[in-house]
Amino acid sequence: MKKIIALITLLIIAAVGSWYIAGSLNHSHSAQPIVHYQSKLVPKQAAFNKNLYSHSDPSSIWVVVNKQNPLNPVTYIPADLVFPTVPLRVPGNETMQLRRVAALAMEQMFAAAAKQSINLMLASGYRSYSYQTELYDGYVATQGKTVADAQSARPGYSEHQTGLAADVEPVSRNCEVEQCFATTPEGIWLANNSYKYGFIIRYPQNGQAITGYEYEPWHIRYIGVAAATEMHQNHVLTLEQFFGYPAAPHYAN
Ligand SMILES: [Zn+2]
């Protein structure tokens, strides 16, 4: 009898022991190979698709508007203009509007900036074809066509007409629409952080031969977080270079 009990006890110990060993082996075998397998087979991150959205449709967030590429039609009016809930230079004015997607991004960006005591204001957003006509004609009348073309877009050629572009300034209005804005805390913050919210500084320093415009550290353009981040990470400064467009220093005529 004693022998039988001893034998059963031995069998139980053996069974439990082998189950335990099998379990631990099973555990280690199932965990490690998967890590190995994944590290081998996770594909390299796919290349950024620069043709995901149209570059010519005026309602596309990737539309390229410059001196060689007017809006088509030139009288385009965005369908979803709204007033962003941010400090506005001229509350209620038509030019304080942006397309909904850009307005939301600006609200988030200005709120994030305010948390760091950077107080930004929208100086100018959407400009209609007729407003741009007035603006441009005013420049031509006072300063001549050459100066006008360097400082203001011709009607139908302004990125502001897309509702995706905005001029930004400090609430203090320090360096309002002047290049010294780049040296203000607000201008520095904007240059360093706007891409996180989908905006780029559209007319960078020394970019006139490509963009057709002098340095405008205050002029931002919404292209979405993915594209703005891609440009930032690859140090691409202009939309023309990013999307493979030829330089547009001048109008065709
Ligand atoms: Zn502007």
- What does the pLDDT read at residue 26? 45
How far does residue 168's CA lie from ligand 1's centre (Å)? 8
| 158 torsion bin: left (phi>0), alpha (psi -120 to 50), beta (else) | beta
Interval between CA 75 and ligand 1 midpoint (Å): 18
At 125, the amino acid letter reads G
Place of tokens 């400009």: 127
Residue type, 142: T
* 178 CA distance to ligand 1 middle (Å): 11
Using the mean position of ligand 1's atoms as its centre, give its distance from the Cα of residue 203 in Å: 9
| pLDDT value of position 124 | 97
pLDDT for 63 equals 98
pLDDT confidence of residue 41: 59
d(CA 48, CA 210): 22
For the record, the structure tokens of 72 come out as 């088509």
Residue 58 phi, psi (nearest 5): -65, -20
| Model pLDDT, residue 42 | 58
* CA distance linking residue 117 with residue 110, whole number of Å: 10
| 94 contacts 132 by C-beta, under 8 angstroms | no
> Residue 247 Cα, ligand 1 centroid: separation in angstroms?
19
Residues near 104 by Cβ (< 8 Å), separated by ≥ 6? 84
158 alpha carbon – ligand 1 mean position (Å): 8
Nearest to 121 by CA among 101, 96, 151, 153: 96
Q: Distance from first CA to last CA of the chain, Å, rounded? A: 112
User: 133: which residues sit within 8 A by CB, 6+ positions away?
Assistant: 155
Residues 120 and 181 sit within 8 Å (Cβ to Cβ): no
Q: What is the mean pLDDT of each run of 10 residues along the chain (253 residues)?
A: 56 53 44 47 77 98 97 97 98 98 98 98 97 94 89 92 98 97 98 98 97 95 98 98 96 85
Is 213 within 8 Å of 203 (Cβ atoms)? Answer: yes
The CA-based angle 117-122-123, given to 5 degrees, is: 120
CATH of 81-242, one of 1.10.287.110, 3.40.190.10, 3.40.50.2300, 3.30.1380.10: 3.30.1380.10
**Domain boundaries along the sequence of the chain:** 1-43, 81-242
User: What's the gap in Å between 219 CA and the centre of ligand 1?
Assistant: 5
CA 57 to centroid of ligand 1, rounded, Å? 20
Residue 221: predicted pLDDT: 98
3-state secondary structure of 56: coil
Which residues, at least 6 apart from 129, have a Cβ–Cβ distance to it below 8 Å? 74, 75, 76, 77, 155, 156, 161
